[in-house]
Structure 1
Amino acid sequence: MSRIRHAALLLAFALPFQACAQEITVSAAASLTNAFKDLGKQFEQRHPGTTVRLNFAASGTLLQQMSQGAPVDVFASADQATMDKAVAQNLIDVPTRRDFAANSLVLVTPAQGGPAIASLQDLAGAPVKRIAVGKLATVPVGNYTRQALDRAGLWTALEPKFIQADSVRQVLDYVSRGEVDAGFVYRTDAAIMQDKVRITLTAGGHTPVTYPVAVLSGSKHQAQARAFIDFLLSAPGQQVLDRYGFGKP
């Protein structure tokens, strides 16, 4: 067989493989990091030839990236408000929007040496000097926190104690390292650092913590992106989310 013919045959076999190989980019809220790493691997196993590229950050930061042209196929937000902004900016394919998980807002303190806190009102006491909260402009957990503290009449009084964080995971890091006395995170985040933080209470008075997901209107891999969302909502996908502490939407 001539070298030219051999090369032509190799190319003929390679082209179908290249045509079916796809990579989808999933931009997801920071609180989904552990669960989505697992989900991404399982999705790839179920869809040979498709690779899932994961991008994690605060939901508002992800929205900024997408609005500036970042090539994203699937967006999963930690709140409805950020997804609503994506709708307003014509970034998502609205019919594909679905809620796939739920969470709860908790107050955590360092596992060792943290102040005794039995209620939100205790945050106003002298022993609590620094409280980590998510930035309101970009971090959904910050807005849930404000709603809860506004409901308790404490937000304004506590503002001088706030340490602003770029994501819920940064709040968790601040508390786990003892750099702050307390912080507001999701229950699923607290669960991954049970040896370093303890949950002191579950905060109420805020809108439900629900996670929406949607395909980007500019996605070049619509079929794979829709398949990923279908997997999130399937029984196996929901089992993974449950294992990481997420509730039903």
Structure 2
Amino acid sequence: MPLCRFLCTAILACLPLLASAQALTISAAASLTDAFKEIAALFEAAHPGAKLRLNFAASGVLLQQIEQGAPVDVFASADQATMDRAAQAGRIDPASRRDFAANSLVLVAPVQDGPAIGALAELRQPGIRRIAIGKPGTVPVGRYTRQALAHAGLWESLQPRLVQADSVRQALDYVSRGEVEAGFVYRTDAMLMAGKVRILLTAGGHDPVTYPVAVVSDSKAASQARDFVDFLLQPPARQVLARYGFGQP
């Protein structure tokens, strides 16, 4: 085979590998869905040849996927506890970990025929039969909710009324469709459905809602993954996050 033809054949054979090397899988908390879709487009525009695959779910579910061998390059969690577990299990590069956003926990109700509540204690009134929360075991918003209700002395008494959701977005859907009288979600999620849900109050008594991100230790594209982590702290990404209601960590 002539040398030129051999080289051309070798280059063509390598192209799929080069393309796949540029593809990054980003596993991010469900509450980041809308903001990260925009940020991904900005990142790809700023890094020619880069391609991002976005995977959204509850943070605990995402960590389970990583632990089961899912090919993930970057993990963005809605709480520190889940990222701490990832670090303790050796699933992330601890040197790459950064906090990049903040949020707040709010109680919401349907716009149509939703109850008027001014304090968490009012959740005990007879008309509040169902309250949507994230599953505390896998959904960070559920853990924040449990902390807030426990701090108010309501966690045990409200157990029969709690409807557990697989993600903050599912909890939001329950409220927006009027399937529950109230629910706990992030302020950023409530903002996305301002026409269907209204914020009743901002809950306190829980850990700060901050979002960490890190490169997954098994990433096959660690350099590009670090580029994405760094990009989240730069003005273009910060502006998108702010527009969706996320604060500085």
Find the aligned partners of 1:193 and 1:10 in 2 and give their Cα distance.
54
- Equivalent in the alignment of 2:211: 211
- Equivalent in the alignment of 1:94: 94
Render the CA deviation track for 1:135-175: whole Å, top value 9, x for unaligned: 01100000100111111111111111000100000000000
- Equivalent in the alignment of 1:74: 74
Classify the secondary structure of the residue corresponding to 1:27. strand
Q: CA deviation at 1:11?
A: 3.9
- Equivalent in the alignment of 1:104: 104
Classify the secondary structure of the residue corresponding to 2:38. helix
Render the CA deviation track for 1:22-80: whole Å, top value 9, x for unaligned: 10000000000000000111101111111000000000000100001111000000000
- Equivalent in the alignment of 2:145: 145
Find the aligned partners of 1:223 and 1:161 in 2 and give their Cα distance.
47
Unaligned 5+ runs, structure 2: none
- Equivalent in the alignment of 2:24: 24
- Equivalent in the alignment of 2:228: 228
1:1-249 to structure 2, matched below 5 A, reads: 11=9, 14=12, 18=16, 20-21=18-19, 22-249=22-249
Unaligned 5+ runs, structure 1: none
Classify the secondary structure of the residue corresponding to 1:233. coil
- Contact 1:131 1:162 survives alignment (8 Å): yes
* TM-score, normalised by the number of residues in structure 2: 0.95
Coordinate RMSD, CA, aligned? 1.7
Cα 1:68/1:12, change in 2 over 3 Å: closer
Task: Work out the number of aligned pairs and report it.
Answer: 247
Classify the secondary structure of the residue corresponding to 2:157. helix
Classify the secondary structure of the residue corresponding to 1:99. strand
Find the aligned partners of 1:15 and 1:102 in 2 and give their Cα distance.
45
* TM-score, normalised by the number of residues in structure 1: 0.95
Classify the secondary structure of the residue corresponding to 1:71. coil
Find the aligned partners of 1:127 and 1:153 in 2 and give their Cα distance.
19
- Contact 1:28 1:57 survives alignment (8 Å): yes
> Matched residues, percent identical?
65
Q: CA deviation at 1:13?
A: 5.9
Q: CA deviation at 1:19?
A: 5.6
